[in-house]
Structure 1
Amino acid sequence: MVKYRGSSLMRTSSTTKFLSRMKSLKKIALHVVVLLAFSILVFVFKTQSILEEVLLLSRSQESESESQHLQASVGKLWDAPFSNGLHPCIKLSAKYEVMPSALGSNRFLTVRSNGGLNQMRAGISDMVAVAHIMNATLVIPQMDKRSFWQDSSTFSDIFDELHFITTLQGDVRIVKELPKDLESIPRVRKHFTSWSGMGYYKEMTQLWKDYQVIHVPKSDSRLANNDLPPDIQRLRCRAMYHALRFSAPIESLGKKLVERLRSHRGRYIALHLRYEKDMLAFTGCTYGLTDSESEELRIMRKNTNHWKVKQINSTEQRRGGFCPLTPKEAAIFLQALGYPPSTLIYIAAGDIYGGDAHLLELMSRFPNLVLKVDQFVYGSMGVSKYSNVLKSTTRCLLS
């Protein structure tokens, strides 16, 4: 009986000790779990901090790389275009025959250049080549005084006349005016067929049998793409890029204008939209215009006698690529090339048709837009755009 009780007491004591140990183990396990959880939290926090630092560093490097790439891309926009292996082609070949000064002395070609300045330059270069082919003396061309601009400038107002004559003296005989004794004699008025080749102009020399003077009322014969001999094309290049040098007052004014344009930020875009009233009326392009604007252009085209085509389908013109870009389309094009919104743009043209209403999209995409930079030079107040206005232009833009 006593033994039984002692044994029971021992079992009770052992159970108590066991339970006490279990509680201690649970506490230890709980502490371990808490410590482990805390360690995991610290690890996660530290890892996240490290990852954030790595991510920030990576983003910084990417941003720096993108910035460098953007700077390089923007830099390329302002670089000179690649020549693609092309080079000036004005030197004579061994086969080229230099014209004797007396050749063509009794045959004269008078010319009235038509269109804007660039068109007149190209036309004059064509007429130099034609005079050479036809063995004729070229009289200094008359400038277009009946166009939209109503410009009263003469050849010598715009170009260095003496330089033009002397530069081409080995190519064609050039005189300042028709000899007095030939002013009253009958002359033939000839519209040369555009894009004609050498054979055509050789055939035209038959006119010298009956006439001493051939008058060409339009100079745009478009000799560029009709398989003329290389030396004739070189002659056109010499006339265009060497002989047709601007007169001293215009050269001086041009340099001052460029200096003034660069004085603000250095780099800039001079954008000629070709979006003037006469251009749109001539081409019949009315995309984006109101009905009243389209009608105004139609009336202008109808009332301009020397514009032969009166009825034009604007949609077909645009589909055929014969219309200028709208100001909005020009803005999208410049953005696509990579020019940033901060780019300084000068509108190098006459009055944009429709004014601010049509320029709104361009101005919203490129806020640094300067209008009417050369409104005095290209004037719309009945004054010459090249010569008569030089003094007033200088006062307005350069003072």
Structure 2
Amino acid sequence: MATLCDDLVTSIQISTIWKIPYKGGEWKPCVNRSSQVTGLPESNGFIYVEANGGLNQQRTSVCNAVAVAGYLNATLVIPNFHYHSIWKDPSKFKDIYDEEYFISTLKNDVRIVDRIPEYLMERFGSNMSNVHNFRIKAWSSIQYYKDVVLPKLLEEKVIRISPFANRLSFDAPPAVQRLRCLANYEALRFSNPLLTIGESLVERMRKRSAINGGKYVSVHLRFEEDMVAFSCCVFDGGEQEREDMIAARERGWKGKFTKPGRVIRPGAIRINGKCPLTPLEVGLMLRGMGFTKNTSIFLASGKIYNAEKTMAPLLEMFPNLHTKETLATEEELAPFKNYSSRMAAIDYTVCLHSEAFVTTQGGNFPHFLLGHRRYLYGGHAKTIKPDKRKLALLFDNPNIGWKSFKRQLLNMRANSDSKGVEIKRPNDSIYSFPCPDCMCHANKTDNSRSSSAA
């Protein structure tokens, strides 16, 4: 590829990237909190769920659990966060979210308690493992819960669902969707310690972005050792990288990648756009899209693999690049440092308030940010989601010139802009596509809302 030169890069103002192309106009949050004063009907029993995965997979569990409990007129026990061997984070719900605010926000819609009454648990020897556990298929309909789960709930008065990540279909009636919206966008607020440091880092990023009017770009970089290992892609680390990846796969997924007959084809994985972008590739992509070396970047990431070597070109292209570790002192980060979910929550907050968010690999983190940013920014995502198959072809083409590369990347950025506002289709995630279930047109009165949000 041609040498990267500042005078070849189309300079852009961060504040003018997005044009809101959707003809229907802007959207606004449109989630009604219940105003009923008569109180909820008598509960049908208690539902206990175990939320598995990392920060945002657990968030899916919590929102879905709220929707199921509300629909079945059940009492939801604050979800238990299942300890995972990969994330190694023992955080409880109250460590991540403001439990009191969560319960208060939902009090007119769903009963929520922090424990099951002892008089009920005595029937099960005060041992949750003795409670009937539903092994529910992924993406089950809400009708399944009504037909199969509710009778058992009425009979036992206490049921358990474990695991409970993606156990509810995205295609659901308005009453269910409203509860999901209310839980995700209104009730789930990070705990005060996380909120405080997150907001502090947002303010520090804005101060460091004075040259851009206080606006900055956030990038979610997935180039940690476990991600590189799991992808089975090959980069330019030679024999040392190969040994590192073999060891990492065995630590995290014993035997998964060495089963007899399993063939790994790194080249095919890359062509299919499944390889995580390297820091160098992220830098080239952003410069091709018109971001100059003066652009302020916040990098959301775990510990980058071989960071001293791999991060050097990105830092050269964007010297105004910051992370939570460079924005905060060691003392400020100390309470969160050994907890992956809490560190991810800090990244989430700073990314949420950036002018533009760049996702490089997919997963639950950008999945939720995509929708949350739509919810905050008039229905528009302000998110760059590159075509990684096309990127692989561009990066691997030895004959492409910088002008041609830049033209392709500018088109890719424009495509992200045109897809900034998208309406949820039946099987889309409400957490990525809040319109129209959680939002309504800003130019309409409150009485003419989408029926899905009513």
Instruction: Assess, with a 3 A threshold, how the Cα gap between structure 1 residues 336 and 306 changes in structure 2: closer, same or farther.
Output: same
Question: Is 2:144 the counterpart of 1:200?
Answer: yes
The answer on whether the counterparts of 1:301 and 1:310 sit within 8 Å (CA) in structure 2 is no
| TM-score normalised according to structure 2 size | 0.59
| Structure 2: distance between partners of 1:247 and 1:263 | 24
Is 2:31–2:181's contact at 8 Å kept on the other side of the alignment? no
Alignment correspondent of 2:116? 178
The CA deviation at 1:241 is 0.7
1:253 equivalent among 187, 197, 202: 197
What SS does structure 1 have at the residue aligned with 2:241?
A: helix
Alignment of 1:1-399 (within 5 A): 74-77=14-17, 85=25, 87-88=27-28, 90-91=30-31, 101-105=40-44, 107-183=45-121, 185=124, 186-205=130-149, 206-208=151-153, 211-221=156-166, 223=168, 226-265=170-209, 266-304=214-252, 313=264, 315=266, 316-371=268-323, 372-373=325-326, 377=333, 382=338, 386=342
Determine if contact 2:224/2:302 at 8 Å carries over to the other structure: yes
In 2, the alpha carbon distance for the partners of 1:234 and 1:362 equals 42
Deviations 1:235-269 (A, max 9, x none): 21110010001222322222222122222233332
Letter of the 1:217 counterpart: S
Aligned-pair distance for 1:210?
Answer: 5.5
AA of the residue aligned to 1:232? V
Amino acid at match of 2:223: Y
Say if 1:152 and 1:384, in contact at 8 Å, map to a contact too. Answer: no
Change (3 A) 1:93 1:110: closer
Matched position secondary structure for 2:298: strand
* Partner-residue secondary structure (3-state), 1:138: strand
Q: Which has the larger radius of gyration?
A: 1
Q: Are the counterparts in 2 of residues 350 and 379 from structure 1 also a CA contact under 8 Å?
A: no
Task: Identify if the C-alpha distance between structure 1 residues 251 and 351 changes in structure 2 by more than 3 Å, giving closer, same or farther.
Answer: same
How far residue 164 of structure 1 moved from its aligned partner, in angstroms, is 0.9
Q: Percent identity?
A: 35
Question: Do 2:279 and 2:311's aligned partners in 1 also have CA atoms closer than 8 Å?
Answer: yes
Helix, strand or coil: the match of 1:112? strand
Measure the CA separation in 1 of the matches of 2:270 and 2:339. Answer: 33
> Contact 2:68/2:176 (CA < 8 Å) preserved in 1?
no
AA aligned to 1:219 is F
Give the letter aligned to residue 73 of structure 2. N
Stretches of structure 2 lacking an aligned partner (at least 5 in a row):
1-6, 125-129, 347-454
SS of residue matched to 1:342? coil
Greater displacement, 161-170 / 147-156: 147-156
Q: How many residues align?
A: 318
Q: Distance in 2 between matches of 1:309 and 1:274?
A: 20
Q: State the structure with bigger RCO (CA 8 A, min sep 6), 1 or 2.
A: 2
Higher deviation after alignment, 210-219 or 159-168: 210-219
TM-score (norm 1): 0.66
Q: Secondary structure at the match of 2:292?
A: coil
What amino acid maps onto 2:185 in structure 1? Y
Relative to structure 1, the CA distance from residue 74 to residue 244 in structure 2 (aligned partners, 3 Å threshold; closer, same or farther) is closer
Measured in 2, the distance between the counterparts of 1:274 and 1:379 equals 23
- Code of the residue aligned with 2:43 in structure 1: it is G
Report the alpha carbon displacement of residue 163 of structure 1 after superposing the two structures with TM: 1.6
Gap change, CA 1:343 and 1:373, over 3 Å in 2: same
1: CA distance, partners of 2:180 / 2:114: 20
Equivalents in 2 of 1:273, 1:373: separation in Å? 16
Kindly state the Cα deviation for residue 138 of structure 1 after the two structures are TM-superposed.
Answer: 1.0
Query: Judging changes above 3 Å, is the alpha-carbon distance between structure 1 residues 190 and 123 closer, same or farther for their aligned structure 2 residues?
Result: same
The one-letter amino acid paired with 1:271 is V
Distance 1:310 1:104 in 2: 50
Distance 1:253 1:297 in 2: 34
